Amino acid sequence: MSTSFRAREIADNVYWVGAIDWELEEFHGYATPRGTTYNAYLILADKITLIDTVKAKYTDELLARISSVVHPSRIDYIVSNHAEMDHTGALPKLLDIVQPEAVYASPKGVQALELHYGGEMNLVGVKDGDTLSLGNMQLQFMLTSMVHWPDSMFSFLDHGKLLFSNDAFGMHVASSALWADELEPGLIHEETKNYYANILWPTSRAVGKTLKGLEKAGIEPDIILPDHGPGCRKDLDMVLKWYADWSEGVKDPKRAVILFDTMWGSTALMARAIADGLIEGGMNVSMLPMAKTERAHVAMECLDASLLLVGSPTLNGGMFPSIADALTYISGLNPGKPRIKGGVFGSYGWSGGLYKKLAAQLDDMGVDIAQDPQSVQYVPKADDLAACREYGLVLASEE
């Protein structure tokens, strides 16, 4: 076992024993250029307890960090807030060494852990509101189904009012900082939003229910410790407000997203003219050329936009592959709940049938097509671009 890794005290008698993944580039389809962390927390109570583990490849690092504080065999309990393998990959090897009295998880977590790793784990299912005495401290469990998987739950430690929130309130940022307030505020907002859009947006109803559940359970944390990215000890209200707004589908009436690709530059010219009209009409526009935009970034930009415009050249009678990729990805995130406004545009060669189909696809995604599609054969002329500009102006006036 490596001895070069140390635990870091994050609160009184609570240690961060996770792993920093500086190299992660992608998390099931979501680009993560800033990497991530897999946070695990060791509570030195009378009953020594480990909250979550790490991805399998970092098992030895986790064990080394634990060993810098206590021998792993002294751990009494393990709590698994979520069965996904970024938090449980280390569990099988850890169990051989630790042999805890029990592994606590939600009932669906028990099922998921059995399905992932087999059943020899001393698994104990906990119900919403159950408490677990650690002797001089106490944990309270809160089931948070679909934040992010059916099995997900929170654990709240009375000592220091620490909320171990697993995926919720996390972000994919690899950093030596233990706390969000040690990083740039702009980065924190961007990456919290990015994470919400790509991981939690499809289950926003469950997020809203969870926020209300915290109030109902009387859980008022002083510190939130997620399993990805830094912890939050300041500005908790701000982060909770972001989550409340995103989960309720609050949109910025002045934000428009134009995602487009182009074959010979025609659709790009149309996109620029439409953007100019939108800007003239008072909108803030995010232009997303898909030749160089990650689909995860599209999701983040769409999260609070009130207008979505999609531009594609016609290729073999269909849309450009990059546009199909982006739409397939974001349609799974339920971008049209609640419904927003949008439009489609693009250039074609000999068949202009794509744009009605594209409009119908957006409508299925929950995007109301406010105006007829703008399409141009081959190359837009000055009057075509003037029409695109007017199109943008009209869409802006409807916001």
Told to check if 341 binds ligand FEO by CB under 6 A, we report no
Q: Minimal CA–CA distance to 260: which of 310, 327, 335, 331?
A: 310
- 86: contact with ligand FEO by CB under 6 A: yes
Instruction: For the CB of residue 106, give the shortest distance to ligand FEO in the complex, in Å.
Output: 13
Q: In whole angstroms, what separates CA 20 from the centre of its chain?
A: 18
SS3 67: helix
Q: Can you tell me which of 52, 151, 191, 227 binds ligand FEO, judged by CB under 6 A?
A: 227
- Please say which residue, 132 or 200, places its beta carbon nearer to ligand FEO: 200
The percent of the chain in helix, strand and coil, each rounded to the nearest 5, is 35, 25, 40
Instruction: Give the gyration radius of the chain's Cα atoms.
Output: 24
- Residue 170 or 346 with smaller CB distance to ligand FEO: 170
Catalytic annotation present for 116: no
List alpha helices for the chain, DSSP H. Answer: 59-67, 85-88, 91-98, 107-117, 185-195, 204-216, 236-248, 266-280, 295-302, 321-331, 354-364, 382-397
Query: Which residues does residue 164 pair with via DSSP β-bridges, in sequence order?
Result: 155, 225
Q: Is 84 in the site for ligand FEO (CB under 6 A)?
A: yes
* Stretch touching ligand FEO by CB under 6 A, among 13-21, 80-88, 246-254, 353-361: 80-88
> Is residue 82 involved in binding ligand FEO (CB under 6 A)?
yes
| Nearer Cβ to ligand FEO (105/268) | 105
Residues of span 153-192 touching ligand FEO by CB under 6 A: 167
Q: Please tell me whether residue 284 adopts helix, strand or coil conformation.
A: strand
Q: Is 52 in the site for ligand FEO (CB under 6 A)?
A: no
CA 336, 206, 108, 37 dihedral sign is: positive
Of 194, 198, 188, 197, the residue nearest 239 (C-alpha)? 188
- State the catalytic residue, choosing from 58, 82, 87, 191: 82
214 contacts: CB under 8 Å, gap ≥ 6: 142, 220
For the CB of residue 152, give the shortest distance to ligand FEO in the complex, in Å.
Answer: 7
Q: Is 84 one of the annotated active-site residues of the chain?
A: yes
- Piece of 83-91, 98-106, 184-192, 201-209 that binds ligand FEO (CB under 6 A): 83-91
Q: In whole angstroms, give the CA distance from residue 318 to residue 312.
A: 9
Within 99-158, the residues that bind ligand FEO by CB under 6 A are 148-149
Of 228, 348, 355, 391, the catalytic one is 228
Residue 30 as a binder of ligand FEO (CB under 6 A): the answer is no
State the residue number with the nearest CB to ligand FEO.
84
Adjacent-strand bridge partners of 140: 131, 156
Is the CB of residue 132 less than 8 Å from the CB of residue 141? yes
The least CB distance from residue 149 to ligand FEO, in Å, is: 6
Closest to 182 in 3D by CA, of 146, 130, 231: 231
Has 184 been annotated as catalytic? no
| Nearest to ligand FEO of 28, 292 (CB atom) | 28
Q: Catalytic site residue 148?
A: yes
| Stretch of 50-58, 78-86, 116-124, 341-349 lying at the interface with ligand FEO (CB under 6 A) | 78-86
Catalytic (active site) residue 228: yes
- Residues in contact with ligand FEO, counted by CB under 6 A, come to a total of 9
Question: Which are the catalytic amino acids?
Answer: 28, 82, 84, 86, 148, 167, 195, 228
Residues within the interface to ligand FEO (CB under 6 A) = 82, 84, 86-87, 148-149, 167, 227-228
